[in-house]
Structure 1
């Protein structure tokens, strides 16, 4: 009987050693993460130059400053990150809620979104959302209440901060459409009186669509921070990976890397030329 117990112990020890060797042979798996965590899939608003846009009309590949950020992050956390087009901005948020994508590269903070994704601090960019009108508009915009009598527009799923979102829901008439190009065309054709969107992406689209009669108003509706987020349902959402991402975002902010990526991708967007 002692000999049998000794044999069982040897077999158990051998099995443990084999399992340890198998884990060491998989360096792409984050320590402490689920075994399925060999890659992170990221997405975001695909109509968001210079931050993010599709490489071609039919491509699933995203390009832009945020993709450069994800490439840098991939090296920092030791896990490959694929930037993938999954649909318009509203669909991106649905995919994130369901856990079919892991990361969103560029989301404003709202309490509702914290129900299905984690935010990483610090933010990687500060942005301004503005009111855009036709050049001949006589809208004298000074405060939010000046917009109340008019018909406005925005893109489905967009947020402009908790305070403004609440005010808009209760007081403004906003038509929501699936894409920024469609919203700008509605503004140009006088189907809406004004459009609310972030200034840099909106003006990039205005230039690409060669719209001479659209201009932003001041002051800004809101100034908001852009964050990297991780889905609660991601198989890679572990304390270990969250820690790595948090440290990486802190290093990114301290080094000021985002400014250079944005500047270079503004030039890339300009070289693309007018939209078809």
Structure 2
């Protein structure tokens, strides 16, 4: 009799715990939904920026960041009913830093890495590009694999990423100078202070490294190839739109809009 009473009491307690757990889960779900709705409501305009020397995807002209990325971000914003305001944040390193703290809510052109995942929610991809080596035509060198660069001195854009694996190799094995301006890198290469530049192929357009009369040449073998994304700051309430941005970016890629804009801006370089 006592055992039966204890069993019934235990069952009642178990039922109370179950009901309490279900109520708690329901409250959490409601709170999460309310927070998402509140954040979505707070995102009326997305403050965006991009690399100042990454033509034609994103570059600085007359004090403004323009190119494929800014245009595409506005197109997606229009489809979602959200304004996109593109600002010049200065150097790329500064733009990334402001993005990490949420002051810049959207970056319109960058690689996706595990390190960046900590502070960013990625949308896309919407493009793909090669990382290439630029060298002086009077000082060419053999290149087949990353280790061939160990004995040389290189240059790159500060704050840039060339993909998770190469970033790690660069940090651990290579002697590379990072500066905020591509013009400084080009000057150092021409002066012989560095042996090569490691940049995205898109960055070539502002300098036209492949012109016949150029004293700089592109090595025919790419260092690596990566997809280009947009990213929302995790500190921004607008990050709730990351998935919707991804969906629209994919649609614009499939219907040829990205390709058309790429050709348009490439022709304007």
TM range (shorter): 0.7 to 0.9
Query: Any idea what the Cα deviations from partners look like across 1:221-263, whole Å, max 9, x if unmatched?
Result: 110110011100012222xx23421321221222121111011
Which structure's residues are more often helix, by fraction?
2
The residue number in structure 2 matching 1:223 is 225
Indicate whether 1:263 and 2:263 are aligned: yes
> Are the equivalent residues in 2 in contact too, given 1:199–1:216 (CA < 8 A)?
no
| Length, aligned pairs only | 234
CA distance in 1: counterparts of 2:97 and 2:144, whole angstroms: 35
- Structure 1 residues 211 and 129: alpha-carbon distance in aligned structure 2, compared to 1, 3 A threshold: farther
Question: SS state of the match for residue 218, structure 1?
Answer: coil
> Are the equivalent residues in 1 in contact too, given 2:133–2:199 (CA < 8 A)?
yes
Q: Which has the larger radius of gyration?
A: 2
Q: Which moved more, 1:208-217 or 1:62-71?
A: 208-217
Indicate whether 1:116 and 2:119 are aligned: yes
- Structure 1 residues 203 and 265: alpha-carbon distance in aligned structure 2, compared to 1, 3 A threshold: closer
The answer for unaligned runs of 5 or more in structure 2 is: 1-35
The residue number in structure 2 matching 1:51 is 57
The residue number in structure 1 matching 2:253 is 253
Q: Residue 191 of structure 1 is aligned with which of 190, 193, 197? A: 193
Runs (4+) of structure 1 exceeding 6 A deviation are: 208-211
TM-fit CA distance, 1:67? 1.7
The residue number in structure 2 matching 1:36 is 42
Q: What is the TM-score normalised by the length of structure 1? A: 0.80
| Superposition RMSD in Å | 2.0
The residue number in structure 1 matching 2:90 is 87
The answer for unaligned runs of 5 or more in structure 1 is: 1-29, 270-276
CA distance in 1: counterparts of 2:242 and 2:223, whole angstroms: 32
Alignment of 1:154-173 (within 5 A): 154-173=156-175
Question: SS state of the match for residue 219, structure 1?
Answer: coil
TM-fit CA distance, 1:31? 5.7
